[in-house]
Amino acid sequence: MFGWEFPPHISGGLGTACFGLTKGLANHGVEVLFVMPSAEGDEDQSSVRIINASEVVVQETVKNVNDFLEKVQFLRVGSNLVPYLDPVQFSNMVTEQKEGQIEDYKHYFGEKYKFSGKYGANLMEEVARYAMVAGEIALKYDFDVIHAHDWLTYLAGVAAKKLTGKPLVVHIHATEFDRSGSNINTEVYELEKLGMKEADMVIAVSNLTRNIVISKYGLHPDKVVTVHNAVDFQGVESMDVSRGIDDKIVTFLGRITFQKGPEYFIEAANKVLKRYPDVRFVMAGSGDLLNRSIRRVAKLGISTRFHFTGFLKGTDVQRMFAYSDVYVMPSVSEPFGISPLEAMRANVPTIISKQSGVAEVLNHAIKVDFWDIDAMADAIYALLSYPAISQMAVRNGFDEVNSLKWDNAAARVADIYATLIKKAKF
């Protein structure tokens, strides 16, 4: 299994999901080798064996460099699309590139490549190197199925498949369209498309994501299955806090970026404040839309009732939930969305956008379209004003999130493995 991060060193939901899934798989008797670009050594290895790609020396296991490159030509992340070339020039260019690739390869031959494992400026380079190391690992270890999580690892997955012929599963936690709306990074898009094309089976974390994969990446519906994420609350304690104020608190918690829909939360807050004065709104998180959000709040003149906390870490997140009377996730596009589950687990009634994968598995969250600020405001108002609805949402919501188990998701993934292994044998 190729991943990019693993708890405790995570920047988002990807690492947590990988952890939950591998734990579930272990319970179903699946042995997982988890390859990640940069492991610190303190990862939870109770149910997986972690392979740190930074520790792997690219060796002569690959007998023939040319042969290797024949199979994994795409390793050099670049573009062949140069305009106005005649056939001779083109063939020269291709040869040049191939030589360049051999050079690249030799350069790192016999060395370790130190991955940052972060999401920095030379991410693309790391992605390519990761794939190279993946090839090495694939030849060294014994396994039945390759499973790659999100675009960063697709190249690695494809490299491993080309070299070993083992079936490849790619797991879509988010697509470029979720991250960037319609202004997508075409390089990332191409990588995603390549991974999905080469994969024997594609797993999407929700039907929402599955539909995007089918419509925007042109995949055959039969090849894409939905396995909803789950959530693991082991070790999460809900806490009691004392408040300094009597006002009710409505919370947004997440990156303040296009994808998360912060502006809709602000507009809905403004509508609620006009009719319900004893309430405060909190936007917790940071992101490229933070400053614009602060300006909008100031312009609406609701700054005394609308607060920004910045990025929250660790127990502060639990504390924020404990403070909240209503939790809102107005995401424009959310492949799954774990945070509403955390809120519900902390007994906070929750409003989620219909454009989230998690809406497919929840009955006891209130669902609105992200753009429908009237409906969002109305739902917030109702949860503040009508005790029966928040009581019911809290009580049933708690039971509901506790029933979402990684074991069930892992069972479906294990089934997919079994089918692929069977097919591969014929």
Closest CB 297 distance from other proteins, rounded Å:
20
Integer Cα distance of 127 and 115 in angstroms: 9
How far is it, in rounded angstroms, from Cα 179 to Cα 157? 22
Residue among 4, 12, 20, 13 nearest 231 (CA)? 20
Q: Is 378 in the site for other proteins (CB under 8 A)?
A: yes
Among 386, 418, 423, 424, interactor with other proteins by CB under 8 A:
386
Q: Closest by alpha carbon to 328, among 384, 382, 253?
A: 253
351 backbone φψ class: left, alpha, beta (φ>0; ψ -120 to 50): beta
CA 173 and chain centroid, separation: 4
Asked if 59 touches other proteins (CB under 8 A), the answer is no
Using CB under 8 A, pick the residue from 109, 308, 381, 398 that binds other proteins.
Answer: 381
Position among 41, 387, 425, 426 found at the interface with other proteins (CB under 8 A): 387
3-state secondary structure 172-238: ECCCHHHHHCCCCCHHHHHHHHHHHHHCCEEEECCHHHHHHHHHHCCCCHHHEEECCCCCCCCCCCC
Helix/strand/coil for 294: helix
Interface stretch with other proteins, choices 14-22, 81-89, 179-187, 389-397 (CB under 8 A): 389-397
CB of 374 to other proteins, least distance (A): 5
**Of positions 57, 65, 361, 389, contacts other proteins by CB under 8 A:** 389
Each residue 262-291 as x (binds other proteins by CB under 8 A) or -, in order, gives: ---------x--xxx---------------
Q: Which of 422, 240, 376, 402 is nearest to 321 (CA)?
A: 240
In degrees and rounded to multiples of 5, residue 280 shows phi and psi of: -125, 150
What is the closest distance, in whole angstroms, from the C-beta atom of residue 299 to other proteins in the complex?
A: 20
Residue closer to other proteins by CB (options 173, 367) is 367
Minimal distance in Å, beta carbon 304 to other proteins?
A: 21
Q: Which is nearer to other proteins, 2 or 327 (CB)?
A: 327
Give the residue, chosen from 138, 150, 367, 406, that forms a contact with other proteins under the rule CB under 8 A. Answer: 367
Supply φ then ψ for residue 35, to 5 degrees.
Answer: -95, 130
**Token digits of residue 69:** 């490159």
What's the min distance (Å) between Cβ of 184 and other proteins?
A: 30
Please tell me whether residue 402 binds other proteins under the rule CB under 8 A.
Answer: no
Return the residues of window 306-365 that contact other proteins according to CB under 8 A: 363-364
Q: Is residue 399 a contact point for other proteins (CB under 8 A)?
A: no
Cα atoms found within 13 Å of the Cα of residue 115, Cβ hemisphere only: 31
Applying CB under 8 A, among 366, 401, 404, 409 the residue interacting with other proteins is 366
DSSP single-letter state for residue 371: T
Q: Residue 172 pairs with which residues in a beta bridge?
A: 204
Nearer to other proteins, 144 or 278 (CB): 278
Stretch that binds other proteins, among 229-237, 241-249, 369-377, 416-424 (CB under 8 A): 369-377
Least distance (Å) between residue 186 CB and other proteins: 36
Note the residues at the interface with other proteins (CB under 8 A).
271, 274-276, 363-364, 366-367, 374-375, 377-379, 381-382, 385-389, 391-393, 396
